Structure 1
Amino acid sequence: MKRQRLMLITARFFAGAALILFYLTSCTNYWLHAVTCGSDNNTQSAETQLSDSQTQKTPTDNATELKSGTDSRRTAMSLTGRDKSSLVGSSMPENGNLQHQKKKINTDNEFTYNVFSLLLKDNRLTYHHEGFTWRCSFTDKEAENQHSKFITIFQPPVKCCVHAFYSPFPSDPKFINAEFQSKLVYRKLWSALMFLGVIIVTIGFIYMIYKACRQKHEIYKIVGVIFLIGGICFTLSIIMYACWISAISWMIAKEIANCTSANNNTKYGVDYGWSFMAAPFAVLLSVIAGGLFIKLSAAERSESSTTI
């Protein structure tokens, strides 16, 4: 009797721990960790935007600006009573003033560009992490231990998050092709199996508490089977996500190969996250709890048969 009681307490402990890990792994958005080069592309785009803003004016626009400037000067002279003779004398200061203003604008643009470039040079890498509900990304400077960037307290206060189910990593339009769509089945199967595993284990835990309150232990075999099925579903979900990570790693291999960094320890690419590492422990605890419940049911059945 003492052995069965100890077995029951141990099975309940493992069942509770498995349920907690199931919820943690499904609710946290760290099944995937990815590091891509963000500063070079951002810098190039910033250079393009600034150069375009400086060269987007056509000769027609310049002529329109000169015409509007001349009209405004004529209006000002007519209001102040200045004649045509004063126009010649005043053209030199006005042209000098115009050149000075243009020089000042160019200096301001150059200063803005330099500041923006310095800010982008500090933010070299783009970090991505993904889970069942959200896919988040943020840009930050390189770190000696880049895995620390996936800890919440070391992340910047502002990051971009979208629904992961509708927009999984990578979200770049150039990767959304027929090959991406064919591999997306792994991501969908992972979501379905993980959700199913969490629901099954939750039902088993509720059923276990119900029977514990009723002080009936003869149907613990059902609870054990439920926990075993939940563990199998979660195992299949882990396999599906491993296939998904290997697929997207191969798809973005060329883009990652073009990344350059000042730090030789920087590891670009896609890797398994904290939640993915914790999922096998949840499966292990669930299988152990299911086995203990089944063994407990068999022991009680044999004891009741010998008593009769």
Structure 2
Amino acid sequence: MKLRVGIFFGGLFGALGILFFLVAFGTDYWLLATEVGRCSEGLNDTREEKITFHHEGFFWRCWFDGNVEQNANSMSRFWYTNQSPTKNCTHAYLSPFPLFRDEHNSTAYHSAIIYRGFWSVIMLLGVVTVVVASFFIICAAPFGSHVLYKAGGGFFITAGILFTLVVMLYVIWVQSMADLKNYAIMKKIDCPGFSVSVRYGWSFILAPVGIFFAMFSGMLFLLVGRTIYLHPD
């Protein structure tokens, strides 16, 4: 009875971990940013406010223009459901810095491409690992094989470690490699009222949740495999 309970909850947590990983992997809201430019234009020195929204993920980096009312009153809904039809997107690997490209610094630019590629490879390995883990568990269920349960549990834990590394690398990426301070200084030369704000999106938040479920599922399946090995009957 206890063994069946362990298998049930291990499978439930594993399925939730896979779901959270795939949603985090497949959506483009790891990072959200807002650029606000209050610039003086024309002979009458009139002030024009322009707001640009950015969001990026593993596959795409997108940006689109908004207005003051959208920025102040319906920010969260506007990010996901009420976006501009003139939204622009490009492949994320073509824009290696988070949100903003620095093509004038070629050394930093190419270093960022390598860093981004390394981060992307680890994420892909994490997704493949968690899918392989589920395959081992599915194969283990009909035969009650302690080897397959242990292998599946080990792969779930490995996937959790890989995605932990992905999250850590992404935080380092945003905090260290995106030179937003200099970017804002450069923009203020032409637009003194320019400001930029950056925050993590819901795709980023889902990754640690998936890590928890994957690690817990892996430990349960290792325990199930050990129990079957010690008590085969």
The corresponding residue for 1:91 is none
- C-alpha distance after superposition, 1:20-66 (max 9, x if no partner): 011000000011111223564xx76xx6xxx9xxxxxxxxxxxxxxx
The corresponding residue for 2:24 is 25
The corresponding residue for 2:193 is 260
The corresponding residue for 1:126 is 52
The corresponding residue for 1:275 is 203
Q: Amino acid of the residue matched to residue 189 of structure 1?
A: F
Q: How many residues align?
A: 224
TM alignment of 1:207-226, pairs within 5 A: 207-212=136-141, 214-219=142-147, 220-226=149-155
C-alpha distance in structure 2 between counterparts of 1:172 and 1:281, whole Å: 30
1:154 is displaced (CA, Å) by 2.6
1:245 is displaced (CA, Å) by 0.4
The corresponding residue for 1:185 is 114
Q: Amino acid of the residue matched to residue 158 of structure 2?
A: I
- 1:37 aligned counterpart, secondary structure: strand
The corresponding residue for 2:164 is 235
C-alpha distance in structure 1 between counterparts of 2:153 and 2:83, whole Å: 41
With normalisation by structure 2, the TM-score equals: 0.84
CA contact (8 A) 1:136 1:161 kept: yes
C-alpha distance in structure 1 between counterparts of 2:226 and 2:136, whole Å: 18
Greater fraction helix: 1
1:7 is displaced (CA, Å) by 0.6
1:174 is displaced (CA, Å) by 4.7
Is 1:204 aligned to residue 203 of structure 2?
no
The corresponding residue for 1:15 is 14
1:256 is displaced (CA, Å) by 2.6
Q: For the structure 1 residues 173 and 302, does the alpha-carbon distance in structure 2 shift closer, same or farther, using more than 3 Å as the test?
A: closer
C-alpha distance in structure 1 between counterparts of 2:24 and 2:2, whole Å: 33
TM alignment of 1:283-298, pairs within 5 A: 283-298=211-226
| Structure 1 residues not aligned, in runs of 5+ | 52-113, 262-266
Aligned counterpart for 2:63 among listed residues 134, 137, 140:
137
Q: Amino acid of the residue matched to residue 127 of structure 1?
A: F
C-alpha distance in structure 2 between counterparts of 1:179 and 1:146, whole Å: 36
CA contact (8 A) 1:256 1:269 kept: no
RMSD: 2.7
1:177 is displaced (CA, Å) by 3.0
With normalisation by structure 1, the TM-score equals: 0.65
- 2:95 aligned counterpart, secondary structure: coil
1:289 is displaced (CA, Å) by 0.5
CA contact (8 A) 1:190 1:238 kept: no
C-alpha distance in structure 2 between counterparts of 1:248 and 1:126, whole Å: 21
CA contact (8 A) 1:187 1:240 kept: no
Larger Rg: 1
C-alpha distance in structure 2 between counterparts of 1:201 and 1:280, whole Å: 14
| Structure 2 residues not aligned, in runs of 5+ | none
- 1:17 aligned counterpart, secondary structure: helix
C-alpha distance in structure 2 between counterparts of 1:273 and 1:145, whole Å: 18
1:190 is displaced (CA, Å) by 1.5
Greater fraction strand: 2
1:187 is displaced (CA, Å) by 1.9
Q: Amino acid of the residue matched to residue 135 of structure 2?
A: I
